[in-house]
Each structure stands twice: as C-alpha cells, then as structure tokens.
Structure 1
Amino acid sequence: MSTDIAQDFSPLIRIYKDGRVERLLGTATLPAGHDPTSGVVSKDIVYSTQSTLSARLYAPPSAISAGKKLPLLIYIHGGGFCIESPFSPIYHAHLNALVAEAQIVAVSVDYRLVPEHPLPCAYDDCWAALKWAVAHAGGSGPEEWLNACADFGRVFVAGDSAGANIAHRVAMRNAEEKLIELWGLVLVDPYFWGEDQIGDEPKDEAGRALPSGLWRLANPGSKNGLDDPEINATADPKLSGLGCRRVLVLVAEKDSLKDRGRLYCETLGKNGWPGKAEIHEAKGENHVFHLFDPACENAAARMKRTVSFLNEGKDG
C-alpha cells in the first residue's frame, strides 16, 4: 500500500499514487428510523436498481397515517462531490429537523462520488432520483409514503455546496426535458466558481487551490475547465431557461463562495428568467455553518427562511 500522495484535498480527501482513495470526513453513518427529537420517521429505499443507488425518505408520521399531502423536497447533500452521504450524522439530523419544521416529505439522495465516478455521474444520479420520485405522481409508484403524502404540484429541489451545484443542474435539465413544473430551488452556499476572481474571492493561487482543484478532480474531462457552465453557472447562455418558478440562495458572509451565489441571483434577475430569485446572507458565518452548529442563532434564521420558502407553495 503506497503512502505517496498524488493529490491532497485536505480536510476532505487524499488520493495516493497507487490509486487508493482516503476520505477524511463524511464516512460515518446513522440508521433510518424514528427520530425522538423531531418526531420524524425515515427509511431507506433503492431508486436505481441499475446503479444500486439509494435515498433516505423522511416524513412526519401524522401525514403518513392521515394521507395528508405535503410539499415534496428532493435534497442533495454536499461534500465537494467526493465525500458525505444522506446517511451521515449531520445530514440525517438536518433532514429530520427540516422536515419537522417545514412539514414536508423529503427524499435525501445518495449519488456516486468522485474520483471513482467523475461527473456527470452525480448529475445523472440525482436526475434519476427526481424521475423516480415523479413516477409516483399518479399515486401508483413503488413507495407508499410518496403515493400517500407527496404533493406533486409543490416539488422543490435543494442542496448545499456541491449538492447545490447538482440541484442547479437538475433544474436546468428539468427545463430541457420538462419532467415536472418545479415550484422552487434552494441553493445553500452553492459551489460555483470560475477562472477569473470576483468580489472577495481569494486572488492568490493558494487561496483558490481547493475550489479549483476539487472541480478538476470532479470533472477531469471538462473542455472549459473553471469556466464550464456546470461550475461557472452565470457563464451559461441557457441560464435564463432555468426550470423552476422560484429560487432561494443562502450564502454566508465569511464563505469564499458567497460572491458566486450573489452573482447567480443577480444574473437570474437580469437575463430574462421569468421567476423570482431572492438571497439571504448569514452575517459572520462560514461555509455550511448550519450543519455543524444547528443551534446557533444564524442557523435558526437560515432554517426559518428555508421553511418559509418551502411553505410558499402550500396555498397554490
């Protein structure tokens, strides 16, 4: 076993010269079931037998027993495309809390990670998960929780960091394939980047190394590098066709990615996209702070804004 490191993306992942991949974070898991804190119940399902891909479903027990229709959220975890899963402690806790607060049904999607599975695998997997969920719209899908409780007139896609990047790509693909009318898109500290420095982004090579290097790791076949529309969303000439009604972008003041989130929101407002985009900034906070300190005041405010957005569709 080689100890020679080929690529080091600490604190996330290391890749050794013999091809071995060492994930430094995001490998712990928790089982599904009843959460005594939130009261939410969860279970794991397979959404793609071809790729053996799964997701964790969440719902309030009262909605299941009563067959009450609730907004449906497709949630995509972050982790630089290379770590984490829906089953990790931070994401399991976050989805339990979000489902309880918003009174929604959620599908937290597992997808193939890089470098073993370069993009577009993650994009394709999450699109497949949305298609699997939408197949329940007629009430005769394989998963009874979705048949009974999901309101397919109020479908949202959300993600944080790299998961927000994927959520954006899912919404773009939805515009092309017209699978369903998405009510909204929630992008939390979205991982967008570009070749040229903007705003408060680091100017030096060392400061830009991690976000730039992770993209090259995730998509080594990209012909446009850091100006690929998949990572530099505002460079996409098709952005005005984004396939959803509303967008909420959540950014954090101390996050080096925040200016890309702001620019995304501003560009949507200027380029002819017919929906409504809004932004909420957490002062004094860093990237995905709410996952690691969910009890802090700014995390509560971020949760409140997200819940309000998810509930906007309840009255049609």
Structure 2
Amino acid sequence: MDLTDSEILHEFRFLKVFKDGRVEKISWPPVKIPPSDDPTTGVRSKDVVISNEPEVSARIFLPKLPDPTHTFPLVLYMHGGGFAMMSAFTPHYDRHARLLAAESTSIVVSVEYRLAPEHPIPACYDDAWDVLRWVAAHSTRDGAEPWLNDHADFSRVFVGGDSSGGNMAHTLAYRVGTIGLPGVKLVGAFMAHPYFGGVEEDDKIWMYMCPTNSGFDDPRMKPPVEDLAVIGCERVLMFVAGNDPMREPGRAYYERLKKSGWNGSVEIVENIGQDPTNENAVALVKKIVDFINQK
C-alpha cells in the first residue's frame, strides 16, 4: 500500500476517513443476532426486507395475542449510533425493542437503515420514511406483512428513537405533517437524548456525512420554529440528561416547539443520562410505555 493511502483525511470522535477512501469506526462491525420468539413474554420477532435497492430492512416484534383478531398500537423505532454505527439487530437494540413491545403491548418495527458515511445522509432519513410508508401501506389490510395486516391499529402509530434516532423521529413527524400519510394517524413521537445540533464536534461530523448540508443551521440538524409548527403528531415526549452535551440543544428544541404555534402537547423529562437501551433504564422505559398507552 502506498503510504500516502494511509493518510488520515478526517478524524472525528468515532470515525476516521483515510485518503484511499477507507473508513474506520469505533465498535465496528456491530454484533448482530437473529430474530427469535421469547417464551417468557410471548413476544415474537421476524425480519422483513423493505427494499432490495436500496437495501433496507426492519425487525418486527409482535406481542402475545390475547385473541386471534386483537390489534395493537404500532411503534416505529430508529436506533442511535451517530447516524454511522449500531444496528437494529444488535443484542441491546433487539432487547430494547422486545421490551417495548412486551411492556406497552405494541407492535414494534425497528428500522435497519443505511449508515453514513458509506451511505451519505439523507439516506438514513429516506430509509426511515420508506419504512413508515411501507407500514402505512398495510392500513388497507392487504399489505405484504400479515402481522401488520391482522394486528396493527393504524389509528395509534408512534415514532421514536434515541440519540440520532431521536432526530430521525422528529424528521418523520415533520414529513407526516407536511406530506401526509394516508391511512395512518401518527399520535406521538418520543425522543431519548436526541441529537439536534449545538455540539460543534458532532455537528462537523454530521455535516461531513451529509454533503448536501446547509451549514450549522441545517433544518434537519437544528429544526427551525416553522418546521416545528407543522409536525404531524399530537404529542411529543423528550428525554434530556444533565451530563449530556446534547442536553441544551434538546431543551432548546423543546422551548422552540412550545412557542412554535404547534397545537400538540410536549413533555420533557430529565434523567441521569442512562442509555435508554440499558436493561437497568427501568424508569425511562416505563415513561415511554405510559406515553404510548396514554388515552
């Protein structure tokens, strides 16, 4: 190898980009596990292919059925990882989605979206939107996936995620509000320690991974008031953490949303910064479950 090929062109907090085009990420590649049925909770899971080109898939979790015709709320979940790492199929995201399905008695669709910088942003946003539209196509009860045809309540749909996934949940709610999503009522969005700009090092990574960015005020990174005013859900739940650099941008999002003229309700919760997918994050998960089950 030419020594110049090993020259580092960009070095960020969790990835390096070399002159020859190689990308090195921390904690890479992620450990993935197959879907499985849980005899303890009765939650079943399967993987589905949404698209082959581009390659997008999801893992669906179905709670225990009280009867063959029962319907459940549906949650579309986007994992975190700085838009560049992790997977819906890692052990802790599999466990988190399974727990949400069991505790909230909801169908959870966990999105396996394309990662940056190999697939530059906005690929991840587009993939999440494509999966949500794929879900909505089942509202006529003749879609490709029987679990959704038979058991999803399309009048009770939620989007959620942590870190970068929380940012993506906002983007989905914004698209629903501006484009619409026939057959589906998006009730709420929940965001655990979401990324909304305001941290210079992370913002530089995001802009590198999104070549079409419009700078530090890009609306996908830092949603403006006019975008918040039209998000297409009734309720928003946010978690911020006192020791998290994303805390203040998260609180700023909350304040802008309250003042935007949006006619929904928003709640913000401060916690100690525990990873929402940690098996000890009991209070955080319970709050999300209560949010989903709120009448």
Q: TM-score, normalised by structure 1?
A: 0.87
SS in 1 for 2:229: helix
SS in 1 for 2:234: strand
Query: What corresponds to 1:204 in structure 2?
Result: none
Q: Does 1:56 align with 2:43?
A: no
Query: What corresponds to 1:266 in structure 2?
Result: 255
Please state how far the C-alpha of 1:25 moved relative to its aligned partner.
2.0
Count of residue pairs brought into register by the alignment = 289
Contact 1:77–1:109 (8 Å) recurs in 2 = yes
SS in 2 for 1:237: helix
Please state how far the C-alpha of 1:310 moved relative to its aligned partner.
0.5
Q: Does 1:184 align with 2:173?
A: no
SS in 2 for 1:281: strand
Please state how far the C-alpha of 1:23 moved relative to its aligned partner.
2.6
Query: What corresponds to 1:39 in structure 2?
Result: 42
Structure 1 segments unaligned to the other structure (5+ residues)? 195-207
Q: Which whole-Å deviations, capped at 9, do the CAs of 1:217-254 have from their partners, x for residues lacking one?
A: 2212212x111111112x24222011111000111121
Identical pairs, percent: 42
Q: Does 1:228 align with 2:232?
A: no
Query: What corresponds to 2:18 in structure 1?
Result: 16
Q: Does 1:290 align with 2:276?
A: yes
Query: What corresponds to 2:233 in structure 1?
Result: 244
Please state how far the C-alpha of 1:209 moved relative to its aligned partner.
4.7
SS in 1 for 2:155: strand
SS in 2 for 1:83: coil
Q: Does 1:281 align with 2:284?
A: no
Q: What letter corresponds to residue 68 of structure 1 in structure 2?
A: H
Q: CA RMSD in A?
A: 1.7
Q: What letter corresponds to residue 5 of structure 1 in structure 2?
A: I
Contact 2:225–2:256 (8 Å) recurs in 1 = no
Contact 2:56–2:113 (8 Å) recurs in 1 = yes
**In the superposition, relative to structure 1, how do residues 236 and 220 fare at CA in structure 2: closer, same or farther (>3 Å)?**
farther
SS in 2 for 1:241: coil
Q: What letter corresponds to residue 26 of structure 2 in structure 1?
A: L
Q: Which whole-Å deviations, capped at 9, do the CAs of 1:188-209 have from their partners, x for residues lacking one?
A: 1110013xxxxxxxxxxxxx45
Contact 2:225–2:257 (8 Å) recurs in 1 = no
Q: Which whole-Å deviations, capped at 9, do the CAs of 1:122-175 have from their partners, x for residues lacking one?
A: 111110000000101111111011111110000000011111111111111111
**In the superposition, relative to structure 1, how do residues 300 and 90 fare at CA in structure 2: closer, same or farther (>3 Å)?**
same
Structure 2 segments unaligned to the other structure (5+ residues)? none
Q: TM-score, normalised by structure 2?
A: 0.92
SS in 2 for 1:79: coil
Looking at structure 2, the residues matched to 148 and 138 of structure 1 have their Cα atoms a distance apart, in angstroms, of 10
1:219 to 207, 210, 219: 210
